[in-house]
Amino acid sequence: MAATDLLGQAEHGVNSPAILLTNSKDFANATVKEVERQLETLETAKIAGQAWCDYGQVIVCDTYEEMVQVADDLAFEHVQVMTQDPNYFLENMTNFGALFLGPETNVSYGDKVIGTNHTLPTNKAARYTGGLWVGKFIKTCTYQRVTPEATVEIGEYCSRLCALEGFAGHKAQADLRVKRYQKT
């Protein structure tokens, strides 16, 4: 199953990464052998095989914690988790576009039929953004309002920060408000 799923990712293009993270050397070796076996008959073997050769990896980690660290560093758009405890990865991973939990699901389901977004961050962009959603098309307006008492307190901090940064105009804005609203 892991070999099939890796090749499903690899067939996207000759530069498509397909990476297995595992904590079992035996599973890693067996998966590599199975990938090679499946490439003998896969219709898209020319593309998937090239991608596997150039961008495929098997990374053996010692613990789930290390696997999360490596996965978060890779920050892939698609991450498929097939472990005894997929919820561990759901609760601990932070950098991914879409997470597919358990052997019952897979990336091709997400690509084609189960409704998760397919416009996902690539090239490690999952470190700072998620997939496309309706909120990306909504204008967000923010505002700030400060009470007279609060402007005195935060104004003093702002004034000192502006002085340290050499922003005299910014400092003057803070100082003016501190002076105007400070109770004497």
Residue 10 · residue 36 · CB < 8 Å: no
Q: Would residue 78 show up in a list of annotated catalytic residues for this protein? A: yes
pLDDT value at residue 98: 83
pLDDT value at residue 177: 92
pLDDT value at residue 119: 67
pLDDT value at residue 179: 96
pLDDT value at residue 115: 63
Cα dihedral 13, 17, 22, 28 in deg (nearest 10): 60
Q: Would residue 156 show up in a list of annotated catalytic residues for this protein? A: no
Angle at CA of residue 132, ends 131 and 135, nearest 5°: 120
**Which of the residues 34, 36, 40, 78 is marked catalytic?**
78
Give the phi and the psi of residue 103 in degrees, each rounded to 5: -70, -15
Residues in the chain, pLDDT under 50 = none
pLDDT value at residue 46: 97
**Pairing relationship of beta strands 78-81 and 98-101 according to DSSP bridges:** parallel
**Which of the residues 12, 40, 43, 77 is marked catalytic?**
77
pLDDT value at residue 132: 67
pLDDT value at residue 14: 96
pLDDT value at residue 96: 87
CB crowding 38-61: b at 16 or more within 10 Å, else e: bbeebeebebbbbbbeebbebebb
